[in-house]
Each structure stands twice: as structure tokens, then as C-alpha cells.
Structure 1
Amino acid sequence: MEGFNNTLLNEFILIGITDQPLLRKVLFIFVFFFYLLDLCGNLTIVSLVIRDPVLQSPMYVFLGNLSFVDMLTSSVIVPKMMVGFFVENIITVKGCVTQMYFSHFLGCTEAVLLAVMGYDRYVAICHPLRYVTIMGRSTCIQLIVATWLTGFTYSLINAVMTSQLPFCNNQKVKHFFCDVKPVIKLACKDIHVNEVTMNTASGFLSTINFLLTLLSYIYIITHVFKIKSSTGRTKVFSTCSSHFTIVILFYGTAMCTYLGPSSEASLEKDRIAAILYTVITPTLNPIIYTLRNKEVRNSVKRLIKSFP
């Protein structure tokens, strides 16, 4: 056992997206540009929600949380990823588990938050007269706290189980950040329990949140068919379109990553999907809400006019 312990690894090497020098430089510019847009866009949304009294309703408080989560998600992964475009991207095992924990923490938090936002839209559209009563300040705070606590608890499962694995010999993680599937494949012991636990927990939470979001939209669509005015229907679709677009972007990438098999081919596909949900989607979210939401656009205009 003593000889075995001496072979345990203390660090990993993240192999990144490509080994082509020219392509690395191009990708660095691309990722850096989107990361700046991500920070600027989401920071703007968070600032607007905090400072503008018009955006103090639950819908926009949830939106502010979503922007905050998106900003943190990219910041946990993208800076380290950009380092790997120029030098060998080394990360300690503890640092790897920490990055894994926060990426799953924020990913799960966003999934629950999208379900909460779907419920908020359901109440606003199907029960407008009771909206203020149902979605009061205390309810809003409780939903936000529950959202973050769910992400915090879920992420502990994979992080704790991964931290207990021994890693030896192979230290190259076939990804540009420490995701659970490529990391546990490097363990020098059977990982069947880890894979089953990961797939079960991820599948359960993803399915529950997706079904809750879907259920909200089923009720919304049913309500829309009862509206006789075309203007009223258009208003409802306009209210929900931004959130629905973000739901499609989120689940379209996250589900194909964490609910698929852990083969070599799937790991390559996961890297491509990961670029979307860590770089592209967090940048698009504030743009989608800004372009399609009149109150957010007006708030942005007021913010611009407030500068001397």
C-alpha cells in the first residue's frame, strides 16, 4: 500500500480543445471576446436589477440571479481555459475537484432557477390577479434560497466522491476544464459506483427541473388558447419567448453532456457542448432578454442617459 501511495498524482494536465498553435490563437481571441461580452452583459443586467425600481418584480430578481450565475459559471472555467491556449494547462487535484464542484454547483443552480422562472411566468399569465399575493417578497426569497441550496447540495455528491478516488499513472484530462466524466476515468480503481451515482443524480435533477418547466409552459399554452384577442396572445408569447429560448439553449447542451455515455467519442462531443454552455450561452442570455424585453431595454436607456 505504501508503494501504491507513492504513485498517486498531485496534479492533472488539461489537454484543451486543440493542439494546433494557429487554431489556439484564433480560439483565444474568440473565447476572450465572448467572455468580455459575457461579463459586460450579465454585469449590466445585475446592476439594472439592483438599481432600477422598475425591475424589482420577482421576474427580474430571478433574471438578476440568472445573470449572476452565468457570470460565475464562465469565470470558474474560461480564464483557466484561456491559459491552456498558450502553456501546458496544469491544475492540482484539489484545484480540479474545486473547479468541478463550482461548475456543477452553478449548473444545477441555473437548472433549478430556470424552473422557478417558468413557474413565475405561469403565475403571472394564468393567475395575474393573484400574482402579487402568490409571488410575494418572502416567497421570492425562499425560492431563491432553495435554488442555491439545491445546487450547493447536489454538487457535493460528485465532488466528495471524486476526491476519494486514487489517481495514478495517467494525468491527462481530456477536456479544457475539470468535468466529472473525464476526470473519474483517470482513477486507478473501479468507477462504476461513481458513474451510476453521477448519472442518477444528474438525470433525476435534470428531468425534474425540465418537467417542472415543461409543465409550466403546458399550463401557459393551454391558457393562451383561451385568449380570444390576438393582441393578448402576442403579449403572452412575447413575455415567455426570452425565457423559453434560454431553456432550450441550456437543456440542449447540458442534457447531451451529462446524460450520455462516457465513451471516448462522447467525451469529444462533451467538449464541443461545453464550449456552448460555458462560453456562448452565458453571453447570449443577457442579449436575448435585452432585445426581447421592453422594460429591460428602457432600463438600459435610462442607465445610459444617467451618465454625464
Structure 2
Amino acid sequence: MKNQTSITTFILLGLTDDIRLKILLFIFLFLSYIVSISGNLSIITLTLIDSHLKTPMYLFLQNFSLEISFTTACIPRFLYSISSGDKSITYTACASQLLFTDLFAVTEFFLLAIMSYDRYVAICKPLHYTTIISSRVCKNFILFCWVAALIIILPPLILGLELEFCDSNIIDHFCCDASPILKISCSDTWLMEQMVIVCAVLTFIITLMCVVLSYIYIISTIPRFPSALQRKKAFSTCSSHMIVVSITYGSCIFIYVKPSAKGEVAINKRISLLITSISPMLNPFIYTLRNKQVKQAFLHSVKNIAFRSKI
């Protein structure tokens, strides 16, 4: 987004100009953001302080809960825009927002793939779990997720810094997103568009294949367990992750499977809102409500806090 013209700021149109809808939207986004921050920070804190949650599975969950960074990159700015009426965003702030939202989003896909592999090893190869998913391997996996995401988003982002904007600075979105930015550029965006598509499709397909293959092996292994209790425990272990995978990948499929060009922008904005606000809010509850160890760790922490306060 190279600034070779008089344009130094962009205008984010947001979702609606209706005052009543804006008020409702602000209340909803504010509450969902607070819940999301509280829920994800609780999971991060519990995995740091509770000795029972020091396993690789919870280390992955701890990093996945960092998706609060993803929602923080765009929702607070949008809340400010709704409350103040200021729809402008500087060139630097827009570029930074695009960098961080893309980085956190791509990292989330890789983490979901790694978490599905972790579940595969835990269920299909339980005797070798501690050897295959050791603490060192776990940390290397997490590092790989962040580095891979950075490598994927940097080439199109660097090209994007060379874009020129001549006629319009109005972005039809509530945050800085690649697609609406490319639409208002007067540069030749063909190469960047192809690069964005290739990076998005590769990330989506590669991670989805890892998830699908892991669960094919898991589903084929579980029926062989001798007892119903073991089968129930195995399904319970995977159910939370499967729900989160369904929400994340399902949202992305809706973005790219468009009913018409006319409805493309409106649908993209609504699904983006789902991904950036609702998913981060639901994920902590999905994992905690279906996970006995996390619930026990939470209750134990609450009891300790209550006990110390009495003293």
C-alpha cells in the first residue's frame, strides 16, 4: 500500500449506517469481546499455573487461545469507529492491522492441524504418545506454526506495500482486509490477487487435509476399543476440537463459496464478523465445558483464591 498519492488515510465503511443497529452492534461486539478476552485469558492462565495442564495438548490450547490477539487486532478499532463516528484509519494502522489479522488467522489454521495430529497420536498410539509428542517436539510444532504463517503472509504483504491509490480511499469493510483494498487500488493487482488466492488455498487445503486424515484414522480406531467407556472418553477428547474445526473451516468455506457477485461484500463482512468476534468468544467455552481437567483446574483456582481472600 505504497503512498505515492495524496491519500494518507482510508475510510472504513463498517457494517451499517443505521443508528439503532449501530447501538445494538456496539453492545453485542463489546460484550462478546469482553467475554472472549476473559475466557481465553483464563485458559492461558490455567495452563500456566496448574501442574495438571502442563501436557502438550494444553500447551497447544494455550497458544490457540492467543487468538484473542486476532480479535484484538480489529474489534477495538471497530468499536471506536462505531462510538465516535470516526471511520478513518491511517495508512500505517491499516497495514499493521492487515499484517496482524492475517498472521494470527493463518497461525490458527496451522495450530488446528497440529492439534488434530496430537489427538491422533493420543488415541491411535497412546503407548508412544510421550515419545512422539515430547515437550521439545511440541514447542517445535508451535514455532513451526508461527514461522510458517509469517512466511506465507509476507510475500503478498510486501507486494501490497507497492500498491497505489488514485481515485478512492473507501474500504467497504469494518477492518482492513485484502480483498476490498485490492478493489480500490489503481495499480495492476493481478499478481497480488493470484498470490493471495494461492496462499489462502494452500493454507486451507494443507491444514484441512491434516485435520481430515487425522480424524479418519481416529474414527477408524475408536470402534476397536474393547470397552464402551474407552470409546466414550476418546470421542469426548476429540469433540471439542471437532466443533472448533467445524466453525473455523465452515466460516471460511462460506466466504469463498459466494452465491453472487452482488452479495459477495455483504456476506464476506458478516462472516468476517463471525470469525473475529463470535468464534474467539465461543472457543473457550467449547473447550472448558467439555473438558473435565480444565473445569477441575478452574474450580481449584477459584477455591484457592477464595481461601486466600479469607486469610
* Class of the TM-score when normalised by the shorter of the 2 chains: over 0.9
**Deviates most, 192-201 or 116-125:** 192-201
For 2:141, the equivalent position in structure 1 comes to 143
1:224-303 correspondence to structure 2 within 5 Å: 224-257=222-255, 263-303=261-301
Summarize the Cα distance change of 1:269–1:166 in structure 2 as closer, same or farther, 3 Å threshold: same
1:166 counterpart SS class: coil
Q: Retained in 2: the 8 A contact 1:125–1:236?
A: yes
Unmatched segments (≥5 aa) in structure 1: none
8 A contact 1:66–1:113 mirrored in 2: yes
Instruction: Tell me: CA distance 1:260–1:151, structure 2 relative to 1, closer, same or farther (3 Å).
Output: farther
Tell me which residue corresponds to 2:81. 84
How far does the alpha carbon of each residue in 1:85-119 deviate from its partner, in whole angstroms, 9 at most, with x for none?
13121111222111111101000000000000000
| 1:179-212 alpha-carbon deviations (Å, 9 max, x no partner) | 1001111101222212111111100111000010
Aligned equivalent of 1:219 = 217
Cα distance in 1, alignment partners of residues 33 and 153 from structure 2: 24
Q: How many residues align?
A: 303
Deviates more, 1:163-172 or 1:214-223: 163-172
What is the identity percentage for the equivalent residue pairs of Structure 1 and Structure 2? Answer: 36
Contact 1:58 1:140 in 2 (8 A): yes
TM-score (norm: length of structure 2): 0.94
Partner residue of 2:192? 194
- Please tell me whether the aligned partners of residues 158 and 180 of structure 1 are also in contact (alpha carbons under 8 angstroms): no
Contact residue 12 and residue 88 of structure 2 kept, 8 A: yes
- Indicate the SS of the match to 2:11: strand
Structure 2 residue aligned with 1:54: 52
Which residue in the other structure is 1:207 paired with? 205
Matched residue of 2:97: which SS? Answer: helix
Tell me, yes or no, if the aligned pair for 1:290 and 1:297 is still in contact at 8 Å.
yes
Q: CA separation in 1, counterparts of 2:124 and 2:91? A: 49
2:69 maps to what in 1?
72
Seen in structure 2, the aligned counterparts of structure 1 residues 116 and 260 have a Cα distance that, compared at 3 Å, is farther
- Shift in Å at residue 256 of structure 1? 3.0
Deviation at 1:168, TM superposition (A): 1.8
- Per the alignment, in what secondary structure is the counterpart of residue 177 of structure 1? coil
Name the amino acid aligned to 1:43: L
User: Aligned-pair distance for 1:265?
Assistant: 2.2
**What is the distance in 2 between the residues matched to 1:98 and 1:258?**
24
Q: Distance in 2 between matches of 1:29 and 1:118?
A: 35
For 2:178, the equivalent position in structure 1 comes to 180
In structure 2, C-alpha distance between the alignment counterparts of 1:45 and 1:258, rounded to whole Å: 32
Q: Which residues of 2 match residues 3-22 of structure 1 at below 5 A?
A: 5=4, 7-22=5-20
TM-score scaled to structure 1, two decimals? 0.95
**Deviation at residue 43 of structure 1 after TM alignment:** 0.2
Cα 1:265–1:158 change in 2 (3 A) is: farther
Which amino acid in 2 is paired with 1:227? Answer: F
> What residue in structure 2 maps to residue 108 of structure 1?
106
Distance 1:262 1:45 in 2: 40
8 A contact 2:39–2:281 mirrored in 1: yes
Instruction: Please tell me whether the aligned partners of residues 203 and 259 of structure 1 are also in contact (alpha carbons under 8 angstroms).
Output: no
* 2:60/2:111 contact within 8 Å kept: yes
8 A contact 2:153–2:199 mirrored in 1: no
Rounded to whole Å, the distance in 2 between the matches of 1:113 and 1:136 is: 16
Gaps of 5+ in 2: none
